[in-house]
Every structure is written in C-alpha cells, then in structure tokens.
Amino acid sequence: MTRGAARPTGEAFDVLPVAVDAMGGDRAPDEIVAGARQVAEDGTIGVLLVGLEGAMGDTGDLPLLHCTEVIGMDDDAGQGVRRKKDSSLVRAAEAVRDGKAMAMVSAGNTGATMASALLRMGRLPGVIRPAIATPIPDLKKEHPTVMLDAGANAEATVPMLLQFAQMGAAYSTERYGVARPRVALLSIGEEKSKGTSLVKEAHAVLAKGGHGNFDFVGNVEGRDFFEDQADVIVTDGFTGNVALKTLEGTLRFLMSTLTEILGRPEVADAAGTLLPHLIPLATKLDPESTGGAMLLGVDGVCVISHGSSTSVAMVNAITVAHDVAVRGLVADIASSVRPPAGA
Amino acid sequence: MTRGAARPTGEAFDVLPVAVDAMGGDRAPDEIVAGARQVAEDGTIGVLLVGLEGAMGDTGDLPLLHCTEVIGMDDDAGQGVRRKKDSSLVRAAEAVRDGKAMAMVSAGNTGATMASALLRMGRLPGVIRPAIATPIPDLKKEHPTVMLDAGANAEATVPMLLQFAQMGAAYSTERYGVARPRVALLSIGEEKSKGTSLVKEAHAVLAKGGHGNFDFVGNVEGRDFFEDQADVIVTDGFTGNVALKTLEGTLRFLMSTLTEILGRPEVADAAGTLLPHLIPLATKLDPESTGGAMLLGVDGVCVISHGSSTSVAMVNAITVAHDVAVRGLVADIASSVRPPAGA
C-alpha cells in the first residue's frame, strides 16, 4: 500500500496546487517566482510557493508555504535532507505526501531534491530504486526520447534496468502519448554480445519480452540519440549521466561557438538573414523547453529542473508536473513495475 | 622482455615503412591506397601496403605485402583473427612484430584491429590490458584531449584505470608535447564521493600521487570535454565509448542540421558570407583531421582510423603512426606503466 492512499483523489486531486521550491536554482528566487506567477495568472494550474519568509520577492497572490531553511546547491544531499527538516525542498515533498500538493518542482540541488522526494514521498511498492528520466530532443520524431537513469543511481543491477524500462515506457506513454514505446539499451555496439556483463544480461532478460506495454528494440549507441532509434533509452545512472552531460556540453559548445561567429561585425548582415532559420533549432534543443527531468518510482510527481532554469523553464516544468499528475502518471508507473518474468 | 627486442633499432628502425591495411574501412581500398600513395610520394615516410593481390587498384610504386583473406567490418573480431591468419590485418600486425614495419594503420574492423595487434605484437610487460586512446579536439587549448579507454575493454579495474592514466599521460607527452599532463577521471560530479565504486577507488589511488609524470586533477564530467579541464581523461571502455559516440553523434547531428539550413535557397548569399568563418571550425572538429585513435599497451604502434576514413584521414593517420613510432612511443609507454604505489 502506498502512503498516498489517503490523499485526495479525482476532482479533489485535480485542484491541488503544484508545490514549487522558490529557493532552488542558480536564478532563485526571482526567476522561479516569476515563472510560478506566470503559470498561476494563466488560471488553470494552481501553484504553492515554498520558501523563506520575506526572501521570495514579490510573490503576488500566490499561496505561500514558509520554511526556515534552504539546502544549498553544493550541500551534501543526504545530510541536507536529514538535518534541514524545515527546508523548502523537504517541505515541498511533504506537501505532496500530505495531499496538499499534486506535484513538486525544484531547480535546486538535484541530489537533495531526489533525497527529499524519496524520503518524504517514499518509493512505490515493488520499485527497487527510483530513476531520473530526462527528455532528449530528437528532431527526427515528434516527441523527445526519454533516457533513464540520468544519475539517480551510480550503479545498477539487471532487475533495476528492467524496471527502468517499464517505468520509462509508462512515462513515454503518459507524457508523450507513445502507445507502445520502443525501448533500447545503451551499449557500445548493436550486437547483443556487446557491452558490460550487466548490459548483456539485461539484454537477454529484455529480449524475452512480456515485460509490459513496450517493444524491446535491442542496443543503441551514443551516436543514436538523434537518430529516431528508440522512444526510451535505458542505462545505469553513471553512464546515463555521462552521456547526458556529454550531449549537453557538446551542444552548448557548438551553439556558443556559433553565436560567437555570428556576432562578428563582418558577418552582421548574413547573421541577420540566418537567425530566423537558426532560432527554431536552438529552441528545440534548449533544455529549458523540455520541462525538466522527472524522478520516476517515488510515490508522487517530482520534477527536477535544470539549475540554470529561467522563468520560461519554470513555466514548462510546472505545466509538465501538473499534466502528468492529473493524468495519473504515478498510478501508471506503479502498475507498470513488475518482477522479472523468470523470477 | 618484449618480443620486439630483436627488432631493428635506431636508424634501421627509422627507415622502416608504416604497414597500411589496404582492405579496411568503408572506402577501402580506393581512399586508403590514395592516402598511402600521397604519403609515400612526399618522400619522408615509407608505406607498405597490405592487401589482396589484384584488388587494391592502382598502387603505383608502393611496396606490397599480399594476403589472401580479409576480415570484414562486421566479422567477429576474435574469430576473424583466429581463422583468417592470412588476412590483411593479421599480416600488417605481423609485419610490425617481425621488424618489417615500424607501425600499422587500419580503418577496418576496430575489434579485429585490436585483436590482431594484441595477439601478434603482444602486450608490453606489466600492461594488464591495452586501451584505445582517442584525441578529442578542445578549441580552448592548443592540443586535443586524450580520452582512454574508448572501447577496448567493456569493463575495467582500479589497476587498469591507473595504467590508463600512465599510458595516456605518456601519449599526451609524446604526441602533443605536453610536459606534465593533467590527468582526470570521468565521473558524474567533481567531488571524490561521486561515481561508481570503481571510480571512487581509482580516485583515491590516483590522488595519492607518485604514479608518474603527470598531475591528477580529480574528476571531470561529460560537460567538460571542451572546457580545457584536462589533457588526459581516463575511464573504462564502456563509458568512454558511450561518451565518445555521444560527442561525435551530437557534433554530426548539429553540423548536418546546420548544413541543411545553409543550403536553403533563401539564405544562399548569407551562407556564402559565413562559410569562410565556419569551415575552420568544422575542420578542427572533424575526426578525419585528428589522425585516428591509438591502441596503447601493445608492443608496437597501432593506429585505428575511423571506418569512414578518406585519403585525407589516411594521410594524417600514417603520419601520426610514423611520428610517434620514430619518437619511441612504445618504449615510453613501457617505462610509464608501473604497479600502483601501494601494491
């Protein structure tokens, strides 16, 4: 039984606000509060702002949940959550646990956000470890590819990878409407003989099929992220984090180099002509536009936004958090996770 | 004692040719032979072309070593080398072993190239496992960053990672003239507490220092490849291969998207103005220009070129193979590899 069993359901749930950590992120509280206010002013999504009294700037008409502590970006995650029980992160997670919010969103310390959600909301029944699912834009298809685990667990086991496949598939269906997601394993060659023993064993288990509402399509490689090979890419949190940061770092490097070139005075006219063609590309690839990563496997919706989130990123993150919460993502995840077929 | 002990030394070594696998690569034999001929025509580097008689096209005046078999791009590496003893890859590796060539270069099957070099040249004394060292261009410094292992071993141990640090540092010094390379571990956070148990243990061992002519600078993340954080980045072959292919795939995706945009008729003039500014960037980032990856830890120089290598890539690869062989890379690697300080 989940701790959430006593929470509001149906219409009572749908009118709950999204708890937003006003203190988390490189641009907190200003950009966070600005994004939260913008969402609330649109009228359909409620926001509960969690933060230090008097330190959140102009919060307008937003309902507030005051706390007395903040877990910093560089604080140790576990210690932060254990010691700072009245921090904005812990209080936001408790609001979800206690049925006072439908979801939580933070752009703060990723480890502490994870720890708060895990310790306060708890794991869903049967889930070995929660995983961070990150959307990666793939221009060759309509929706982003979901990669998990992007860093919640540095090490994984075969049963964990199987559950990541199940949770990732449920998420792809719920968030992007992919009826039967293609699930792939991240490896170093297409053949089932390629990879670590972990990957080879996971491949064998997944290839048996019958694990849920998805199709296992085998291995993909690091070069396949933009090649419409899969809807869900499964890997351990170490490899996933390295791959995600390599991908983001490479995009950022090329985009900034390109921006420098386009800023040269001698190409000003050409740059003016090209900008309308380049901006849609930059927008699609911008992590700000994807709505943030999500911690799957906990008993509640927890969106982890980029540390550099602006108000635009917060609007997207809060909207995504609301939408998947209302659609029943947590219940779907709970029912998708099963023990391995042969176990 | 290494098997190479009876090989030519000094001036007798310096005039040996570089053995080039004419049959390996997506564009073999034409582009391979064209590159080899171009190098030979320049006069200072000798080339020994290894391939099927009558199947190499116009080989000009190049000395030839004929074989009767070819290991295909998709052949199993181990089986290919064991069964096809008269293949171009095996014969090229034997030419190095037997003192008939100073180095070998192939753009063919990476696994089979590795296996040929390992089985025919043998490991250097004390080396646990050879590793693939790949140069990654970093525009913020004068020379590329060396990443290893890029895929020779799917799994690694702490002593292997320590040796990768030693071999990578020797390579950075020998190939790029970095007097005292900065060596980093690839992880998922800067703190020594971040990463898998393997990475954390390797961090502790490397942080003790005294392992050779390099400075351990701690962990780097996937986002740091273009940020001048290190001269050598050490990781296991699974993570390294995923990171490298993610980086290359992201670059290729953005470059091809950009090329598509610049090809639109309505921006033709602007594209013409910008091209001279973009081409130097594209050239620096092109894997063709880096001269290929190198298998470190075997008793001979073995350059592994991209499967898509053109004649330009082959010219670079052969030149690099020659240069590091003449400078004594193999002896430097041999003397850099030591057991851990505490062992």
Express each pLDDT in B134-159 by its tens digit: 999 988 899 999 999 999 999 999 99
Asked whether the CA dihedral B116, B122, B128, B134 is positive or negative, the reply is negative
Please state, as a whole number, how many other Cβ atoms lie within 10 Å of the Cβ of residue A82: 12
pLDDT digits (tens, 9 = 90+) for B29-82: 999 999 999 999 988 999 999 999 999 999 999 999 999 999 998 888 889 999
In residues, how long is chain A? 343
Q: How many CB pairs under 8 A join A and B?
A: 159
Interface of B with A in 168-207 (CB under 8 A): 186-188, 194-197, 199
Instruction: Among B187, B194, B247, select the one facing A246 at the smallest CB separation.
Output: B247
pLDDT tens, residue by residue, B216-274: 999 999 999 999 999 999 999 999 999 999 999 999 999 999 999 999 999 999 999 99
Which residue in chain A has the smallest CA separation from B264?
A277
Phi-psi region of B15 (alpha: psi -120 to 50; beta: other; left: phi over 0): alpha
User: pLDDT per residue over A46-89, tens digit each?
Assistant: 999 999 999 999 999 999 999 999 999 888 888 999 999 999 99
Residues from chain B contacting residue A251 (CB–CB below 8 Å): 250, 254
Token pair recorded at residue A131: 């995983």
Among B154, B187, B222, the residue with its CB nearest the CB of A249 is B222
Place of tokens 């400075």: B215
pLDDT, tens digit, 9 for 90 and up, residues A192-225 = 989 999 999 999 999 999 999 999 999 999 999 9
Beta-carbon count within 10 A of A283 CB: 11
Residues of A within 8 A of B250 (CB-CB) are: 225-226, 246-247, 250-251, 254
Binary contact (B226, A245; C-beta < 8 A): no
Among B195, B243, B277, the residue with its CB nearest the CB of A264 is B277
B339 has pLDDT over 70: no
Mean pLDDT, range A185-190, rounded to an integer:
95
Q: What is the mean pLDDT of residues A307-318?
A: 94
A-contacting residues in B 223-282 (Cβ below 8 Å): 223-227, 235, 237-239, 241-254, 257-258, 261-262, 264, 267, 269-271, 273-274, 277-278, 281
Q: Are A255 and A242 in contact (CB under 8 A)?
A: no
Report chain B's mean pLDDT, rounded to a whole number.
93
* SS3 per residue for A13-72: HHCCCEEEECCCCCCCCHHHHHHHHHHHHHCCCCEEEEEECCCCCCCCCCCEEEECECCC
**What is the pLDDT, as a whole number, of residue A95?**
98
What ipTM does the predicted assembly reach?
0.93
Q: Measured between beta carbons, which residues in chain A are less than 8 angstroms from residue B222?
A: 241-249
Asked if pLDDT for residue A3 goes beyond 60, the answer is no
